[in-house]
Amino acid sequence: MPFDEIDTLAIDTIRCLAMDAIEKANSGHPGAAMGLAPVGWTLFSRYLRHDPSKPEWEDRDRFVLSGGHASMLLYSLLHLTGYPLSLEEIRKFRQWGSKTPGHPEYGHTPGVELTTGPLGQGCANSVGFALAEAHLAAEFPSAPIDHRTWVFCGDGDLMEGLTAEAASLAGHLGLGKLCWIWDHNSITIEGSTGLAFTEDVKARFRSYGWQVLEVEDANDLEALASAFEASIAETTRPTFVAVRSHIAFGAPTKQDTASAHGSPLGEEEIRGAKANYGWPEDATFLVPEEVRERGREIARRGEEERVRWEERFARFSGEEADAAAELRRRWKGELPAALDALLPEGGKMATRAASRKVLNALAGALPELLGGSADLAPSCKTWIDGAPAVSPGSFAGRNLHFGIREHAMGAILNGMNIHGGLRAFGSTFLVFADYLRPAIRLAALMGVPSIFVLTHDSIWVGEDGPTHQPVEQLASLRAIPGLLVLRPADAKETGACWLEALKRQDGPTALILSRQSLPPLELEIGQVLEGVSRGAYVVKEASDLRLILMATGSEVSLALEAAQELEKRGFGVRVISMPSWELFAVQAPADRRRLLPEGIPRIAVEAGVSLGWCRWVGDGGRLITLDRFGASAPGAVVAEKLGFTAERIVNEALELLMETMEDGNEFAQDSVD
C-alpha cells in the first residue's frame, strides 16, 4: 500500500503532540521525537507486528526506544495506534501518577517493553530480546515463535561503550531478527557530535558483522520502507539502518540545534513549526479524525494477526501438547514442584563449587534455566553440564559465552528475562559488580528476575590483591532497592539461596559466593531452607544466652569457632547466619526481636565495609568488618593480618561482655524494630 496524505498528517500529529506535551509540562526533549516521527510512524503502521488490544502477546515484535528521553515519540505512537493510553495521559506528561513519565517505564505504561534511561542500556537489552527469541525458536522448532526486535538508537547510545559490547556480540552470533535504527541527527546536549564523535560508525558496524543500510532523509518514507524490508529479508546478520534526520524538524530557528534537545521549544517556536507543517497554529493536542481512523485500522490489523497466531498455537498445542504446555508454564513464570528435593548433599567446599552442583541438579527440571559468564565459567562454576553452548547460527544451547563484556552481559540478561520463557543468569567476580551496576539497578527498577552469580567474594581471594578483593561491593549492592542479596555460609545454604532466587518473579538476585572451601553447617536441610527464606536464623543456640554473634558467608564458620571457645569460658553464645538482610528486614518485628532479643549484646562479622551493619547490632554492639582495601598474599594470611580470625572475635566478645556487665547489661534495641 503506497504512503498517502494521511501518513503525512499522522507524522505531523506526532510532532505536534510532542511539542504540546513538553510545552505544557515545561520539561522534556522535543527534538528527537520531531525528527524521528516519520521513522516511528512507518515502523508502527507497516512493519511492527503488535496488537494494541493485547500488548503482552507472546509473539509480538519488540520495540525498544533506547534513547528514552524521546519518550513523547513512543507515547504518541502508542496513543495513535490504539494502546490504552489516553490523550488525557499525554496531557499529563511528566506529572505525578501519569502513565507518561519522563522516560518510559516497564510495567507502568502499556506497550512499553523496557525502562530505558541510561543511554545504551536499551540497545544491549534488545540483544537479549533477540537472543531469547532465537533460543526459544530453536528449542521449540514447531512452535509459532517468529518475531523481530526493532530498536531506535541515537548518537549518544552509540558513544556508550556498553553499546559496542552488545553490538559486537550480536554480530558474532548472527542475530538476524534484530534491527537497530540510528537517529543520526549529529546533535547532543553540548552541541554538534563533531565535538567528540567523529568515527565512521557504519564501518564499525560492518566490522561487527552487521548488515549496514543507509537512509539519507528521515522524511523519505519509501526509503525507510525499503530499508525495513531489507532488514526483514536478512536472516543471518543483524541490521543497522543509519537514518539521517533533523532534530526538531520544522522548527523555524531551532531545527538542527542543541537547544532543541532537552528543553521546550517555546510558544512562538511551536507556532512557527505548526505553520511550517500546515497545522492550525493555535490548536493544541489536536488529533485529526483521519489519523484516528488510520490508527484504528492499524489496531485491527494487529488484532487479526494476533488471532491468526493464536490459531496456529492452538494447532501446535493439538499436535505437540507437552511442548505447548511447557511453553505456557514458562511464559507464566511457574516453577515445577518439589525443586528442593533435587538439591545435592552438602560437604566441605567453596560455595561457588556448591553452586555448580546445585545449578546442574536443577537444570534438568528447569529447561528454561540458561546462562553463562563474562569469560569466567571455569572460575565461577556456571557451566551446565551436557548442554551445548549457544554459537553463531546455533541457538538451542544453554551455555552462553558473553566474552569479556560484563556491561553488556547484565543488560542482555535483563532483555532475556523480560522477553519471557527463560530464566537467564550471568556470572563474574564480585569485585566486577561495578561493571554490572547499571544493569543490576535497572533490573531492580523494572522488577526483572535476573540472577547475577558473583563469586570470589572476599579478601580470601588472596594473591591477586586489593584490585580483586571486594570490600565495598556487598554494601553497595545492598543499597539498591529491590535487589535480593544472598551470601550463603555453606553448600546447603547455597542450594537454599538458589531456590530463593528462582522463586523471585519481581526483582533480581545477587548470589555472593566464596572462592575458598567452607565447612558444612551441622543442620538439616529443612532448617536451612526455612532459615534462608527468613534471611537470618540460628545456626547455634545457647541455653544461657549472653552474646549474639551474627555473620554472613565464610565468616559464619569463624563465628561458630569463636562461640565454642567462648562457651568454654562460660558464656552462652547464639550464632546467627544472616544470608540476606533484605529477607530478614521484611519479617515481622516480633520475629526479628525473637532472633535478636533486647538486652543481649551483639557482634557482626563480615569481611567487608561496616556500612549498614549498625542497623542490626544496635548502638551498643561491635563490628568486625573491613573499612579498608585488602592486600596481596595467600588468602589465609590476608585474613589473619586483617583480623578475621576466631581469636579476634573471642577477644572482642570478651571486651564487649565486660563492658555490658559494667553498664548493667543495658543494650540498645531500637534498630531491630
List, for residues 230-284, the tens digit of each pLDDT value: 999 999 999 999 999 999 999 999 999 999 999 999 999 999 999 999 999 999 9
CA dihedral 36, 79, 89, 258 (to 10 degrees): 0
Do residues 430 and 477 share a domain?
yes
Within a domain: 523 = no
Considering 458, 491, 518, which residue would you say is the last residue of a domain?
518
Within a domain: 636 = yes
Do residues 281 and 380 share a domain?
no
Residue 484 and residue 467: Cα distance in Å, rounded?
A: 25
State the pLDDT at residue 660.
Answer: 81
Do residues 380 and 247 share a domain?
no
Do residues 278 and 132 share a domain?
yes
- Asked if the model's pLDDT at residue 228 lies above 80, the reply is yes
Show the cell assigned to 448: 526483572
Which residues does the annotation mark as catalytic?
Answer: 406
Strands 187-188 and 191-192: antiparallel
Do residues 547 and 513 share a domain?
no
Please tell me the total count of domains within the chain: 3
Do residues 50 and 154 share a domain?
yes
Do residues 380 and 510 share a domain?
yes
Mean pLDDT of 331-353: 96
CATH number at residue 82: 3.40.50.970
Q: Are 460 and 638 in contact (CB under 8 A)?
A: yes
Do residues 546 and 507 share a domain?
no
Percent composition of the chain: helix, strand, coil (DSSP 3-state, to 5): 45, 15, 40
Within a domain: 25 = yes
The 10s digit of each residue's pLDDT in 46-71 is 999 999 999 999 999 999 999 999 99
What HEC string does 100-139 produce? CCCCCCCCCCCCCCCCCCCCCHHHHHHHHHHHHHHHHHHH
- Asked if the model's pLDDT at residue 672 lies above 70, the reply is no
Radius of gyration, alpha carbons of the chain = 28
Considering 484, 518, 552, which residue would you say is the last residue of a domain?
518
Amino acid occupying residue 447: G
Show the cell assigned to 519: 565447612
State the pLDDT at residue 669.
Answer: 47
Residue 583 and residue 485: Cα distance in Å, rounded?
A: 9
Within a domain: 406 = yes
Provide the terminal-to-terminal Cα distance of the chain, rounded to the nearest Å: 66
Using alpha carbons, select from 516, 514, 515, 566 the residue that is nearest to residue 540.
Answer: 566
pLDDT band at 72 (very low <50, low <70, confident <90, very high): very high
Strands 517-518 and 349-350: antiparallel
Do residues 546 and 513 share a domain?
no
Within a domain: 47 = yes
What HEC string does 140-163 produce? CCCCCCCCCEEEEEEHHHHHCHHH
The 10s digit of each residue's pLDDT in 541-579 is 999 999 999 999 999 999 999 999 999 999 999 999 999
Show the cell assigned to 619: 548502638
Within a domain: 334 = no
The 10s digit of each residue's pLDDT in 481-536 is 999 999 999 999 999 999 999 999 999 999 999 999 999 999 999 999 999 999 99
Do residues 59 and 186 share a domain?
yes
Within a domain: 446 = yes
Question: pTM above the 0.85 mark?
Answer: yes
Residue 397 and residue 384: Cα distance in Å, rounded?
A: 10
**At CB < 8 A and 24+ separation, what contacts does 301-306 make?**
302/49, 302/50, 302/51, 302/52, 302/53, 302/81, 302/82, 303/51, 303/52, 303/53, 303/54, 305/49, 305/51, 306/51, 306/53, 306/54, 306/57, 306/59, 306/60
Within a domain: 321 = no
**At CB < 8 A and 24+ separation, what contacts does 193-199 make?**
193/155, 196/159, 197/155, 197/158, 197/159
The residues facing 243 across adjacent strands are 183, 215
Do residues 281 and 354 share a domain?
no
Do residues 83 and 211 share a domain?
yes
Q: In this structure, how many other beta carbons lie within 10 angstroms of the beta carbon of residue 96?
A: 6
CATH number at residue 638: 3.40.50.920
- Asked if the model's pLDDT at residue 667 lies above 50, the reply is no
Range of the domain at 74: 5-304
